[in-house]
Chains A and B, each alone.
Chain A
Amino acid sequence: ILNVEQSPQSLHVQEGDSTNFTCSFPSSNFYALHWYRWETAKSPEALFVMTLNGDEKKKGRISATLNTKEGYSYLYIKGSQPEDSATYLCAVNKFYFGSGTKLNVKP
C-alpha cells in the first residue's frame, strides 16, 4: 500500500486567482501518477498521466509537474474560474489515491 497525501484539503479562491496543490508520495516503486478532476454529481475525469521525473503537462489553464526523486507533483490552475470548482485527486501507480483537494472558486 502506498501512502499518497494531498494538500491542502480544501481551498477557497476568488475568480481570477491562480492556485496550486500538492500530491506527495513515496519515491520508491513509482511507476505513474494520474491527476483527476471530480465535479459534484459527476464521475472523476482524467486530467494528466505522468511517468517521468521532470514531466510537465498542460491542458489549457491547468498544468502539472512531477518530481519522482523527492516524491511530489504539483497541479497549477492559472486564472481560476468558477467552473474549476471540483475536487482534484491524484493517484500513484494507478489505484493508490490521495484524499483530494477540494477547490471552490468564488465569482
Chain B
Amino acid sequence: GAGVSQSPSNKVTEKGKDVELRCDPISGHTALYWYRQSLGQGLEFLIYFQGNSAPDKSGLPSDRFSAERTGGSVSTLTIQRTQQEDSAVYLCASSLGHGSYNEQFFGPGTRLTVL
C-alpha cells in the first residue's frame, strides 16, 4: 500500500553543509509531522502542518531548521549549516487530521550523520 515515504534513507554530510530531507505523506492526510530521535533519546517533536494553516514550529531547535509543505502534500525539512548534534533519525508522520485521537502513520525515517 501507499504509506508514508521518506528520502533519502541515509544521509552523511560534513559539518557546515545544508541538507534537505523529504517526506511524502499518505494521500488525503491533511496533517504532517516531523520528529527526530537522537541517540538514546525519545522522539522529539519538531514541526507540524495542518491543511492550509500556518505550521506549528514550536519544536524546531534552532533557526537553522526550517520546513515547508508544498501543495498540502510533500514536505521538505531543511537543516542549514549542519552541526554534529544534528545527527539523528528524522521521522515524518501523517494523519487524517490533527485531532489528538487521530492515528499517525510513520515513514521509515532518514538517518542523518554529520561528520
Q: Which residues of A contact B (CB under 8 A)?
A: 4, 6, 31-32, 34, 36, 42-46, 49, 51, 89, 91, 93-100
B95 to chain A, nearest CB (A): 8
With A89-B42, A99-B41 known to touch, is A42 a contact of B104 (CB < 8 Å)?
no
Name which of A4, A89, A95, A99 has the most chain B CB atoms within 10 A of its CB: A95
- What are 9 sample pairs from A and B whose C-beta atoms fall under 8 A apart? A4-B42, A34-B104, A43-B108, A44-B104, A51-B101, A94-B102, A95-B35, A96-B45, A97-B44
Q: Which residues of A contact B101 (CB under 8 A)?
A: 31-32, 49, 51
Do most interface residues of chain B lie in helix, strand or loop, or is the interface mixed? loop
CA distance A19 to B48 in the complex (A): 34
The residues of B that contact A89 with a CB separation of less than 8 Å are 42-43
8 closest residue pairs by CB, A with B:
A99-B42, A31-B100, A32-B100, A97-B43, A43-B106, A95-B45, A44-B106, A46-B103
> By the criterion of a CB under 8 Å from any partner CB, how many residues of chain B are at the interface?
24
Contact status B109-A34, CB under 8 Å: no
Nearest residue (CB) in A for B95 is A94
Residues of A within 8 A of B44 (CB): 97
Contacts of B108 in A (CB 8 A): 42-43
A49: chain B residues within 8 A (beta carbon): 101, 103
How far apart are the CA atoms of A35 and B109 in the complex, in Å?
A: 19
Residue of B4, B33, B35, B100 with most partner-chain A CB within 10 A = B100
Interface flags for B85-114 (1: CB within 8 Å of A; 0: not) read 000000101000010111111111100000
Q: In the assembled complex, how far is the CB of residue A66 from the closest CB belonging to chain B, in whole angstroms?
A: 13
